[in-house]
């Protein structure tokens, strides 16, 4: 690919230009308020490295205000007494508003994150809308059980026992920068369905769509304090939020490193915690498949969103017989991808999120070279403004290399051969992560033998990164715990209460 071919970022629409000029504010208790301190965060367009807006940098006092507002909204007021169909209707209204502003949101997301606008239109915005609509239906379907117990009381005593699910309370929700609006929606949807309240913190790199979402939440008519949005840095705003005693539950998506810190910070008050963390997901290719078809799937699995995907297929394991053919196909896709700025309609792969992330990815490439790996395509950054890294395919790797073990979070795939199924499964299970995996084969028996061996929260067969709000999602091992989405997502945001009533006779204690 010719680095000079990277075009300039097209101009933004009037609607987005207006939004970018908006003053830096926080959403607390249904109002856009001035942050307490003077510090501001520069919002950078990763396609140009230029500042495009300014966001508030919430401090401890802002965090305290937001948590109190969320607490009041949870304990008192209209939200507490809202009926399921009222919450459902509000959620649909919000989803409709997102749909109405879909093009503006896609543009904003592409600008803030660097992803191709075509992808924001296809994946991020419909995905966000889908989470609200899917979870809206659950508001009226949160149920419990009744039990046929053997409890004995004084003669004639009868018991009725049942469970109810109640909202867990005030939730701190911290999301990353790779799918900013989609992650915010994924987090907020179960909060709204169950009757919890939230203080949401978008990533400091990508605050824009969460703020626009905040405007639409107000327009939809949610009561004040149900959703509060604080922009700020992780180490300060995020840490203060996590440590705040007024928080009942923390829901986090991000690095394993920060997930561990959060789990520790949650301990003093035993906050409920759900963590969706890093991954190093294997793409396992069995010998019966057409190498060319699989190659395009495997390329998509790693290069989508510039590889900044928790489930990115960053380790490619191909059965020896077809390794060369698959590798050739993946390399061909890799060298043909059109790199460019987010808003350019022709762009197939955008820049990485930040200078920091580009440096991190380039350092991994350097360590791979030093440890003797061979780079087949890509391997460097084009000499052009914007945090670009070329799509990269690496071979001749060993299991103990950093590039094989650690999450790179960039457009970099390491390819390895295997001989038999057990060896392939063992190699795929190596390392600390267990978020997802894909198997490519039409050999039903081989697939059925492999699926139970894979230690991962999601296993795809002949596809990769297919994520739906109805399908539980989360990790094994150090990829986190808790399952979001589906019924499991509702359970994550509710406490189960057992009720035991002596309904006839004198009753009994103990």
Active site residue 495: no
- In whole angstroms, the minimum distance from the beta carbon of 225 to ligand NAI comes to 21
Token match 């009222």: residue? 86
CA–CA distances in Å: residue 266 to residues 2, 97, 275, 300? 49, 35, 12, 37
Given the rule CB under 6 A, which of 9-17, 250-258, 394-402, 459-467 is the region that contacts ligand NAI? 250-258
CA angle 128–131–132, rounded 5-degree value: 95
Alpha-carbon distances of 76 from 233, 236, 362, rounded to whole Å: 30, 29, 51
Q: Strands 272-276 and 249-253, how do they pair?
A: parallel
Which is nearer to ligand NAI, 82 or 314 (by Cβ)? 314
Cβ atoms of 201 and 212 closer than 8 Å = no
Q: Binding segment for ligand NAI among 235-243, 285-293, 385-393, 441-449 (CB under 6 A)?
A: 235-243
Q: Considering only 123-131, 234-242, 388-396, 461-469, which stretch makes contact with ligand NAI by CB under 6 A? A: 234-242
- Distance, CA of 189 to CA of 95 (rounded, Å): 10
Contact flag: residue 171 with ligand NAI (CB under 6 A): no
- Least Å from the CB of residue 63 to ligand NAI: 11
Contacts (CB under 6 A) with ligand NAI, residues 203-222: 203-204
Give the whole-angstrom CA distance, residue 84 versus residue 195: 9
Q: Considering the candidates 109, 276, 484, 491, report the single residue annotated as catalytic.
A: 276
Indicate whether 242 belongs to the interface with ligand NAI (CB under 6 A): yes
67 counts as binding ligand NAI under rule CB under 6 A = no
Tell me which of 195, 254, 329, 411 binds ligand NAI, using CB under 6 A.
254
Tell me the CA distances in angstroms from 110 to 347, 352, 410, one per residue in order: 11, 12, 17
Q: Does 39 bind ligand NAI (CB under 6 A)?
A: no
For residue 292, CA distances in Å to 282, 297, 300, 322 come to: 18, 9, 13, 10
* Closest approach of ligand NAI to the CB of residue 311, in Å: 8
Residue 407 engages ligand NAI in binding (rule: CB under 6 A): yes
Residue 199 as a binder of ligand NAI (CB under 6 A): the answer is no
Q: Which residues have C-beta within 8 Å of that of residue 247, sequence separation ≥ 6?
A: 67, 170, 171, 172, 199, 241, 269, 271
Whether 8 is catalytic: no
Confirm or reject binding of residue 411 to ligand NAI (CB under 6 A): no
- Residue 409 interacts with ligand NAI (CB under 6 A): yes or no: yes
Site string for ligand NAI, 354-383 (x = CB under 6 A): ------x-----------------------
Using rule CB under 6 A, residue 261 touches ligand NAI: yes
Give the residue nearest to ligand NAI (CB): 234
Question: Looking at 310, 407, 484, 491, which residue is catalytic?
Answer: 310
Stretch that binds ligand NAI, among 89-97, 160-168, 231-239, 495-503 (CB under 6 A): 231-239
Show the binding pattern over residues 122-161: x = contacts ligand NAI (CB under 6 A), - = does not.
----------------------------------------
Residues 273-312 that bind ligand NAI (CB under 6 A): 277-278, 310
Separation CA 477–CA 100 (nearest Å): 40
| Nearest to ligand NAI of 278, 424 (CB atom) | 278
Write down how long the chain is: 510
* Cβ-based neighbour number of residue 325 at 10 Å: 14
Q: CA geometry: angle at 176 spanning 172 and 181, to 5°?
A: 90
389 near ligand NAI, rule: CB under 6 A: no
- Number of residues binding to ligand NAI, judged by CB under 6 A: 25
- Report the greatest alpha carbon distance in the chain: 89
**CA separation for the pair 108, 85 (Å, rounded):** 31
Least distance in Å: CB of 321 to ligand NAI? 33
Residue 143's alpha-carbon distances to 139, 166, 316, 343, in angstroms, are 10, 10, 42, 45
Active site residues: 276, 310
Q: Which residues bind ligand NAI (CB under 6 A)?
A: 174-176, 178, 201, 203-204, 233-235, 238-239, 242, 253-255, 258, 261-262, 277-278, 310, 360, 407, 409
């Amino acid at each position: 690919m010719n680095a000079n071919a990277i075009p300039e970022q097209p101009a933004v629409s009037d609607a987005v230009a207006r939004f970018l000029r908006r003053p830096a504010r926080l959403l607390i208790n249904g109002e856009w308020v001035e942050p307490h301190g003077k510090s501001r965060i520069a919002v950078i367009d990763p396609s140009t490295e230029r500042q495009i807006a300014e966001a508030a940098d919430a401090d401890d006092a802002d965090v305290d205000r937001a948590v109190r507002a969320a607490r009041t909204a949870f304990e008192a007021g209209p939200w507490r007494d809202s009926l399921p169909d009222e919450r459902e209707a509000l959620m649909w209204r919000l989803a409709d508003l997102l749909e109405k502003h879909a093009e503006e949101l896609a543009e904003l997301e592409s600008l803030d994150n660097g992803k191709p606008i075509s992808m924001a239109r296809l994946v991020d915005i419909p995905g966000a809308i889908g989470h609200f609509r899917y979870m809206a239906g659950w508001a009226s379907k949160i149920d419990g059980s009744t039990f046929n117990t053997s409890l004995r009381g004084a003669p004639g005593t009868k018991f009725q026992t049942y469970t109810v699910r109640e909202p867990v309370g005030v939730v701190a929700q911290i999301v990353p920068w790779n799918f900013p609006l989609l992650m915010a929606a994924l987090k907020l949807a179960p909060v709204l369905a169950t009757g919890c309240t939230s203080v949401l913190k978008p990533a400091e790199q990508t605050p824009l769509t969460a703020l626009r979402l905040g405007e639409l939440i107000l327009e939809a008519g949610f009561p004040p304090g149900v959703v509060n949005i604080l922009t700020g840095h992780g180490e300060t705003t995020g840490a203060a939020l996590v440590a705040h005693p007024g928080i009942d539950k923390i829901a986090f998506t991000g690095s394993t490193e920060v997930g561990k810190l959060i789990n520790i910070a949650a301990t003093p008050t035993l906050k409920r915690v759900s963590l969706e963390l890093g991954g190093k997901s294997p793409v396992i290719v069995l010998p019966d498949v057409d190498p060319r078809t699989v190659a395009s799937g495997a390329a998509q699995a790693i290069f989508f969103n510039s590889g900044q995907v928790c489930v990115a297929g960053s380790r490619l394991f191909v059965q020896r017989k077809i390794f060369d053919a698959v590798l050739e196909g993946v390399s061909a896709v890799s060298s043909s991808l059109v790199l460019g700025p987010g808003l350019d309609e022709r762009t197939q792969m955008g820049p990485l999120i930040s200078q920091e992330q580009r440096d991190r990815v380039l350092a991994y490439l350097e360590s791979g070279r030093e440890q003797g790996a061979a780079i087949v395509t890509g391997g460097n950054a084009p000499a052009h403004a914007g945090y670009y890294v070329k799509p990269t395919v690496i071979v001749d790797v060993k299991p103990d290399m950093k590039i094989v073990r650690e999450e790179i979070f960039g457009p970099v795939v390491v390819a390895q051969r295997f001989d038999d199924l057990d060896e392939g499964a063992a190699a795929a299970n190596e390392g600390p992560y267990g978020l997802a995996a894909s198997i490519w084969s039409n050999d039903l028996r081989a697939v059925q033998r492999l699926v139970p061996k894979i230690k991962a929260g999601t296993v795809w067969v002949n596809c990769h990164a297919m994520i739906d709000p109805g399908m539980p999602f989360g990790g094994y091992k150090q990829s986190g715990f808790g399952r979001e989405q589906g019924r499991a997502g509702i359970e994550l945001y509710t406490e189960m209460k057992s009720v035991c009533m002596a309904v006839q006779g004198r009753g009994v204690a103990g």
